[in-house]
């Protein structure tokens, strides 16, 4: 069958089941239900601290076929996922489903577990490195299921994704399971992505390299949700967890795009008192923030909040009084960790509060402007950040689809051509985010407004910005690079891309050997 | 039938249903389940602010028979419950069940609504004043259901108590429903008791007298849980909300009891580094804290935490470094509110985290010493804090049963005689807290140790404290007052006392006119 975006999707996918096709970004809203969690209540004298990861697995009743979960605040410095799977592998358990909010190159050992049938399923919002390549090559028994950050929270809360055992990487944990991530050698700040796991898993284990006496205030994840605690030498490599600094691009093309983007924001009329803003940690995104900052200073604008994964650059804007508050689901650098620790208006948020479409209102709904990336964008404004031009998985939505759906102005910023290939195409290889939720595309050669946004078209038409149709941008690119050859993929589905509401927006097919 | 404490309880109570009899304080632990909450998810453009309480009731679909909930952080200064019921009354809705965490004299208007059949059921953890008298007099159609603070959280989370509409008194609220209670003219600090209501009610309304622009950081209750917001002139009378100061008793009998209690604590061996402590806001309880403070200072003891409803006195001990942290479910005075606002180790906790027996471990489980009151205590150490000696409702468990069950050393402190009546009796009028969870009784005439605590008996036997059997204490009292006459009550059950696990520990019967 074809879904509403014209993507060809099987009605039933082996190892996934029946497909609920994507029907539009806001079609699933209305009455929803959370799952009834079943768990063991604790006797007052319960001792939660166990001696080893193996002990926690045994106490939690690990067995073939279970789903275990992880979160990615330690990013490419995370040791926890690998440590737990090494124990599972030694115990002879198999057919495990790994629900990790994101998977990075450091998780390469998963590839061997996939080949051996120890790991047969993966749920993630973002996958890069050897695991992504192995999935694209058909090495995982069942198709990987790719969520958005908010969609993962929704799936966990609703029971679409039931977690048997959640493992929480805990930079600081007390003997009764209270966790914070603002203290300890592996301090990573907000633990937003781990909160649905802790609240909805049947069993939850805290793995810490900083076991402290009770209570570990300020508590980010409460003892109410933790069954067991285990101490290890190290939960991660500090160098991989937080970068020392995040830097604005020096590339003139990136700066040009950023400057143009700031002018789009200004022309939109949203840049006024109460302004709210989110951007990623990439060099061009930060450059947009820098130009926005100049405009805010010049016009004495007092914004309401910045949100998302938070960088030191956003903290600087906050500390200068340009934003009244920060909503933080994940800290990208040390400055962000420190601010989150020390400032009560640097507010933590769970993945659900951040972007879950099935609650009473996520933070993304209050965003004025969101700056997004793209590996491809098609003439219907559908964006791909899941696969590269070869069809290989190299990312995933993360918060892309969530913020695009919520923000009043979702802007994709990208160079028109990357690696000698046009970024604007007829049909993206994979749809991550539907075009109806993207408002503007800014490239160094011109700016395209989604025809659905007539109001915005009118406003931008009054400026001297180079506004043109997205088809024109595609032609400009193709005139420079030629029309790229169509890639050929095998029919086999290796990953299912779920939109934030759990419907299937696209599938990823196996790449040819 | 008789339950395990020998209390005569009907097998089925009209207006309540089938009775699950109390079987022991820890008999219900093990596998439990939370309810599946059903609610409406929000479209991104949803506007939550409505113009009047009436509008919120209409939008929430108020109708006959519904259960609506309130929390008691505004105590005897609360206007919210009365305002909402006044609107409901005007709308002609009837047969409403009111689930208020506590009910105070200010809620007197409820009596008229009870008489008119507008309110036909009440759930509360504590009831004092005209509403208590009216219930005892048989004016409420169905028996009131009396919970503990932790038991109410359990009932809400499990679905034993399903709330149709929760009303949150919000000292500060933003336009999208984020709430904090550390700012605004009605600032009351922690909102611990309201958290289960917000999380598990089908509809939730924030009623605020300080509507602010988004976001109202630091957020105590998240936008994820709030359907509507309404602004009113005032949510409460500041004088009734927080008292300016809480004071230690000057009564020599109270001071003597407090001094003896501190010696019991010292002799128990618990008063060492890591010590944790909870006490109420009464004069004698605070005097115990003062003596404990002296001992801690003298012996250079560094405690781990103080918990509960928090007074300025506890904050002083915390600020002097005698405790590492505070767990706060409710602030009793302005000093507590300020500390909660400014100090990250002054940690908020929900009612569930505080005392719910059906989670993975409540804070009460980590208490070393709990200081409790009593209106009666019987020779089996069962405590009554629900009814007076006339049988009239004048209180309720609050956190009494929760902390007694969790604490390593639960001490009841009371004068042996009050109002010319002995406090130690053969059988308490109503059992609030089972004797198996009470360890020691301290009176000015002597100290009785629960025979279940042989270890403690041995330790206290080595001191020069006046240790005696509880029967001896009863005799001493009766020699002074005579044996009190048995009160005569009508058979009709006017309130059901649920233990924290939802079993029925006792019933309250109608008093004679």
3-state secondary structure B427-461: CCCCCCECHHHCCEEEECCEEEECCCCHHHHHHHH
Minimal CA separation from B388 to chain A, in Å: 31
Decide the pairing of beta strands B228-231 and B49-50: parallel
Instruction: Quote the CA–CA distance of A210 and A331 in Å, as a whole number.
Output: 19
In this structure, what token pair is assigned to residue A151?
């969609």
Is B357 close to A41, i.e. CB distance below 8 A? yes
List of chain B residues whose C-beta atoms are within 8 Å of the C-beta of residue A177 = 360-361
Among the listed ranges A487-491, B61-65, B128-132, B163-167, which one has the minimum average pLDDT value? A487-491
Q: From residue B33, how far is each of A162, A189, A204, A206, B183 by CA, in Å?
A: 14, 31, 15, 21, 36
Residues 377-436 of A with CB under 8 A from B: 405-406
Q: Among all residues of chain A, which has the CA nearest to that of B228?
A: A360
Range list of β-strands (E), B246-341? 276-278, 303-310, 323-331
Instruction: Look at residue B384 in the predicted model and tell me its pLDDT.
Output: 98
Minimal CA separation from A342 to chain B, in Å: 9
Instruction: Quote the CA–CA distance of B139 and B510 in Å, as a whole number.
Output: 10
Interface A:B, Cβ pairs < 8 A: 178
In this structure, what token pair is assigned to residue A228?
């067991």
Is B360 close to A40, i.e. CB distance below 8 A? yes
Report yes or no: A198 and A225 within 8 Å, Cβ to Cβ: yes
**Within a 13 Å sphere around the CA of B168, how many CA atoms are in the beta-carbon half?**
34
Instruction: Quote the CA–CA distance of A16 and A260 in Å, as a whole number.
Output: 43
Instruction: For residue A361, give the nearest of B42, B356, B363 by CB distance.
Output: B42
Minimal CA separation from A287 to chain B, in Å: 26
Probe site for chain A from B200, B203, B215 (most A CB atoms < 10 A) = B215
Residues 290-329 of B with CB under 8 A from A: 304-305, 324-325, 327
Instruction: Look at residue A389 in the predicted model and tell me its pLDDT.
Output: 85
Which 3 state secondary structure label does DSSP give A236?
strand
In this structure, what token pair is assigned to residue B42?
């929000």
Decide the pairing of beta strands A369-372 and A276-278: parallel
Instruction: Quote the CA–CA distance of A63 and A324 in Å, as a whole number.
Output: 48
Assign B512 a pLDDT band (cuts: 50, 70, 90).
confident
Is A223 close to B360, i.e. CB distance below 8 A? yes
User: Which residues of chain A fall below pLDDT 70?
Assistant: 243-246
Instruction: Quote the CA–CA distance of A425 and A428 in Å, as a whole number.
Output: 6
Assign B432 a pLDDT band (cuts: 50, 70, 90).
very high
On whether any CB of chain A is under 8 Å from the CB of B154, the answer is: no
Could you give the ipTM of this predicted complex?
A: 0.96
Instruction: Look at residue B36 in the predicted model and tell me its pLDDT.
Output: 95
Map tokens 């996520």 to a residue: A362
Complete DSSP assignment for B165-205? EEEEEESEEETT--EESSSSTT--S--GGGHHHHHH-SEEE
Per-residue DSSP letter, A346: E
Q: B18 pairs with which residues across the strands?
A: B12
Complete DSSP assignment for B84-128? HHHHHHHHT--SEEEEES-B-GGGTHHHHHHHTTSEEEEEES-B-
On whether any CB of chain A is under 8 Å from the CB of B375, the answer is: no
Minimal CA separation from A473 to chain B, in Å: 30
> Buried b vs exposed e over A126-163: b needs ≥16 C-beta within 10 Å?
bbbbbbbbbbbbbbbebbbbbbbbbbbbbbbbbeebbb
Report yes or no: B79 and B233 within 8 Å, Cβ to Cβ: no
Range B83-112 average pLDDT: 98
On whether any CB of chain A is under 8 Å from the CB of B360, the answer is: yes
Is A46 close to B217, i.e. CB distance below 8 A? no
End-to-end Cα separation, chain A, in angstroms: 27
Instruction: Look at residue A489 in the predicted model and tell me its pLDDT.
Output: 85
Q: pLDDT tens, B263-321?
A: 999 999 999 999 999 998 888 999 999 999 999 999 999 999 999 999 999 999 999 99
Which 3 state secondary structure label does DSSP give B313?
helix
Instruction: Look at residue A487 in the predicted model and tell me its pLDDT.
Output: 84
Per-residue DSSP letter, B466: -
List of chain A residues whose C-beta atoms are within 8 Å of the C-beta of residue B34 = 36-37
Is B352 close to A31, i.e. CB distance below 8 A? no
Residues 207-236 of A with CB under 8 A from B: 213-215, 217-219, 222-227
Among the listed ranges B36-45, B220-229, B444-453, which one has the minimum average pLDDT value? B36-45
On whether any CB of chain A is under 8 Å from the CB of B61, the answer is: no
Instruction: Quote the CA–CA distance of B338 and B182 in Å, as a whole number.
Output: 8
Is B36 close to A36, i.e. CB distance below 8 A? yes
Cα B57 to chain centroid distance, Å, stands at: 28
Is A224 close to B43, i.e. CB distance below 8 A? no
Assign B212 a pLDDT band (cuts: 50, 70, 90).
very high
Is B44 close to A406, i.e. CB distance below 8 A? yes
Is A347 close to B215, i.e. CB distance below 8 A? yes
Instruction: For residue B325, give the nearest of A32, A38, A217 by CB distance.
Output: A217
Q: What percent of chain B has pLDDT over 90?
A: 93
Is A215 close to B344, i.e. CB distance below 8 A? no
Q: pLDDT tens, A140-161?
A: 999 999 999 999 999 999 999 9
Report yes or no: A94 and A259 within 8 Å, Cβ to Cβ: no
Is B223 close to A363, i.e. CB distance below 8 A? yes
On whether any CB of chain A is under 8 Å from the CB of B63, the answer is: no
Indicate whether B246 pLDDT > 70: no
Is B359 close to A42, i.e. CB distance below 8 A? yes
Assign B245 a pLDDT band (cuts: 50, 70, 90).
low
Length of chain A in terms of residues written: 513
Nearest to A34 by CA among B60, B227, B39, B225: B39
Q: Among all residues of chain A, which has the CA nearest to that of B363?
A: A223
> Buried b vs exposed e over B394-431: b needs ≥16 C-beta within 10 Å?
bbbbbbbbbbbbbbbbbbbbbbbbeeebbbbbebbbbb
Report yes or no: A56 and A82 within 8 Å, Cβ to Cβ: no
Instruction: Look at residue A283 in the predicted model and tell me its pLDDT.
Output: 85
Cα B218 to chain centroid distance, Å, stands at: 25
Report yes or no: A127 and A103 within 8 Å, Cβ to Cβ: yes
Nearest to B50 by CA among B234, B197, B237, B226: B226
> Buried b vs exposed e over B53-74: b needs ≥16 C-beta within 10 Å?
bbebbebbebeeebbbbbbbbb
Instruction: For residue A347, give the nearest of B30, B218, B304 by CB distance.
Output: B218
Is B325 close to A215, i.e. CB distance below 8 A? yes
């Amino acid at each position: 069958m074809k879904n509403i975006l014209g993507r060809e999707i099987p009605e039933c996918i082996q190892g996934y089941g029946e497909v609920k096709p994507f029907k539009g970004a806001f079609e699933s809203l209305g009455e929803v239900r959370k799952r009834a969690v079943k768990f063991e209540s604790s006797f007052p004298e319960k001792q939660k601290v166990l001696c080893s990861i193996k002990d926690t697995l045994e106490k939690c009743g690990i067995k073939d076929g279970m789903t275990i979960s992880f979160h990615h605040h330690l990013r490419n410095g995370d040791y926890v996922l690998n440590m737990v799977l090494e124990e599972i592998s030694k115990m002879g358990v198999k057919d495990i489903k790994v629900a990790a909010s994101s998977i990075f190159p450091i998780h390469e050992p998963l590839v061997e577990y996939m080949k051996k049938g120890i790991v047969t399923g993966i749920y993630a919002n973002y996958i890069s490195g050897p695991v992504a390549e192995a999935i694209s090559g058909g090495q995982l028994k069942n198709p990987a299921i790719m969520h958005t950050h908010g969609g993962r929270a929704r799936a966990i809360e609703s029971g679409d994704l039931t977690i048997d055992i959640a493992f929480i990487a805990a930079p600081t944990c007390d003997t009764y399971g209270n966790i914070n991530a603002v203290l300890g050698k592996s301090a990573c700040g907000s633990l937003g992505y781990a909160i649905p796991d802790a609240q909805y898993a049947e069993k939850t284990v805290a793995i810490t390299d900083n076991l402290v006496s009770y209570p570990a205030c300020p508590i980010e994840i409460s003892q109410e949700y933790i069954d067991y605690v285990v101490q290890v030498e190290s939960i991660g490599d500090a160098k991989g967890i937080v970068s020392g600094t995040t830097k604005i691009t020096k590339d003139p093309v990136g700066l040009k795009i950023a400057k143009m983007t700031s002018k789009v924001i200004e022309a939109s009329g949203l840049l006024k008192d109460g302004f709210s803003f989110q951007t990623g940690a990439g060099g061009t995104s930060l450059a947009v923030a820098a130009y926005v900052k100049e405009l805010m200073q010049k016009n004495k604008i007092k914004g309401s909040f910045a949100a998302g994964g938070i960088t030191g650059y956003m903290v600087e804007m906050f500390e200068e009084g340009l934003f009244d508050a920060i909503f933080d689901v994940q800290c990208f650098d040390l400055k962000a960790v420190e601010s989150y620790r020390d400032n009560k208006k640097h507010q933590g948020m769970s993945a659900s509060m951040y972007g879950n479409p099935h609650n009473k209102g996520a933070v993304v709904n209050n965003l004025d402007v969101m700056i997004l990336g793209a590996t491809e964008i098609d003439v219907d404004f559908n964006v791909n950040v899941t696969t590269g031009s070869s069809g290989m998985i190299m990312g995933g939505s993360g918060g892309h689809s969530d913020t695009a759906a919520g923000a009043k102005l979702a802007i994709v910023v990208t160079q028109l051509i990357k690696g000698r290939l046009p970024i604007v195409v007829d049909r993206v290889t994979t749809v991550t985010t539907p075009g109806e939720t993207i408002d503007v595309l800014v490239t160094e050669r011109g700016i395209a407004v989604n025809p659905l946004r007539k109001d915005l078209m009118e406003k931008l038409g009054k400026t001297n910005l180079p506004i043109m149709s997205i088809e024109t941008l595609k032609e400009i690119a193709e005139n420079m690079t030629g029309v790229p050859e169509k890639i050929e993929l095998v029919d086999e589905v290796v990953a299912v891309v779920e939109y934030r509401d759990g419907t299937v927006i696209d599938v990823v097919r196996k790449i040819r050997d």
